């Protein structure tokens, strides 16, 4: 098992025997000293998560001339030691890898005469802490121009993206604010990693633009209808409706209508005028049609869809957001 320990003061690695060595002696100048250093401050963690920073600190000092070396290790056995040098020494332990369980933090202070003092502290390392979070895969549902002869549906997804060890699932409700749309389901309960797809149905019966908020316990999605027409009007109109969803990733739908049988083309260009996709070309029946736009191979940005037939042209802006 690999464990990594960081020391803010760089130094040399020494072996486990340092903790067992308490040697009284003399300095290089022949001065006798048998008094070990003292720990004037010790603050050890007792609980931590992996990965996490265990904010341990200590200060060691010695009353005699010469540097005090501070050596520490965090493990159930002394297998990794970092050495620093100072008259008064403090440090912090970063526990970034390893298993959970009970560990011992060992710190030894050694003076210039070979005297040593050691303190121990137990540390319980737990699984990663729970961080609850959710994500919506859409902020806007654009219904475009809808046909009033039947309901139109769109959908978005709520994801439980919580990390760490979370004991419970996330529960919530979903509602709409203006009575023009209906949503299903009306409530949800998601375990960690699970998702729910919410279906939104437009059931309006009047003309004009409609916008409404779909509110969940973990986020809000705006629904937008740009225009509403009956089937007869839509079938006799040469038109290219707003794409939906828009912005999109990686695909969206374009709805267009032809008022008569004829040659038509529907193409997508980037803002530099380079052709990105040809969606329709050739003879097209009168009526309403839909095509899918696949932007999975495109870069994020703005694109222009252009419908052409019999010398007429209509365009809509598409926004790809990855």
Q: What CATH superfamily is the domain 130-229?
A: Immunoglobulins (2.60.40.10)
Which backbone phi and psi does 57 adopt, to 5 degrees? Answer: -150, 155
**Which one has a higher pLDDT value, 6 or 250?**
250
Peptide bond into 300 cis (omega under 30): no
Does residue 45 have a pLDDT over 90?
no
CA 163 to chain CA mean position, Å: 10
Count Cβ atoms below 10 Å from residue 258 Cβ, excluding itself. 21
Q: Where are the alpha helices (DSSP H) in 21-99?
A: none
The overall pTM is greater than 0.85 = no
Do the first three CATH levels of 17-126 and 130-229 match, i.e. the same topology? yes
Pick the CATH number of 230-322 from 3.90.950.10, 2.102.10.10, 2.60.40.2550, 3.30.565.10: 2.60.40.2550
The pLDDT of 238-257, averaged and rounded, is 87
Domain 17-126: state its class: mainly beta
Could you tell me the residue ranges of all domains in the chain? 17-126, 130-229, 230-322
Sheet of 262-270, strands arranged across: 275-284, 262-270, 301-309, 312-320
pLDDT of residue 195: 95
pLDDT at 9: 28
Confidence at residue 184, expressed as pLDDT on a 0 to 100 scale: 94
Q: What is the DSSP letter of 234?
A: H
- What's the CA angle centered on 194, arms 191 and 199, to 5 degrees? 120
Q: What is the pLDDT of residues 201-228, one digit of tens each?
A: 887 665 556 788 999 999 999 988 876 6
């Amino acid at each position: 098992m690999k464990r990594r320990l960081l020391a803010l003061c760089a130094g040399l690695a020494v072996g486990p025997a340092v903790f067992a060595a308490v040697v009284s002696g003399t300095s290089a100048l022949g001065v006798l000293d048998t008094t070990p250093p003292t720990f004037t401050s010790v603050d050890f963690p007792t609980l931590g998560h992996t990965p996490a920073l265990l904010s341990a600190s200590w200060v060691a000092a010695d009353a005699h001339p010469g540097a005090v070396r501070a050596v520490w290790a965090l493990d159930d056995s002394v297998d990794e030691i970092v050495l620093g040098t100072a008259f008064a020494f403090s440090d912090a332990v970063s526990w970034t890898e390893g298993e959970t369980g009970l560990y011992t933090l060992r710190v030894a202070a050694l003076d210039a005469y070979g005297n040593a003092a050691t303190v121990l502290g137990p540390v319980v390392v737990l699984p990663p802490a729970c961080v609850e979070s959710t994500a919506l895969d859409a902020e806007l549902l654009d219904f475009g121009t809808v046909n009033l002869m039947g309901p139109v549906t769109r959908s978005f997804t709520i994801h439980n993206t919580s990390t760490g060890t979370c004991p419970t699932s996330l529960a919530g409700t979903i509602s709409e604010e203006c009575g023009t749309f209906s949503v299903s389901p009306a409530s949800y309960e998601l375990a960690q990693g699970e998702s729910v797809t919410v279906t939104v149905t437009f059931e309006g019966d009047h003309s004009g633009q409609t916008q409404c908020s779909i509110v969940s316990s973990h986020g809000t999605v705006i629904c937008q209808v740009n225009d509403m027409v009956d089937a007869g009007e839509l079938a006799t109109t040469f038109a290219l409706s707003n794409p939906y969803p828009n912005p999109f990733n990686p695909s969206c739908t374009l709805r267009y209508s032809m008022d008569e049988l004829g040659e038509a083309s529907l193409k997508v260009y980037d803002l530099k005028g380079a052709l990105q996709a040809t969606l329709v070309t050739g003879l097209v029946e009168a009526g309403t049609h839909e095509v899918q736009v696949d932007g999975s191979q495109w870069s994020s940005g703005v694109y222009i869809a252009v419908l052409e037939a019999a010398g007429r042209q209509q365009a809509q802006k598409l926004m790809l957001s990855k």
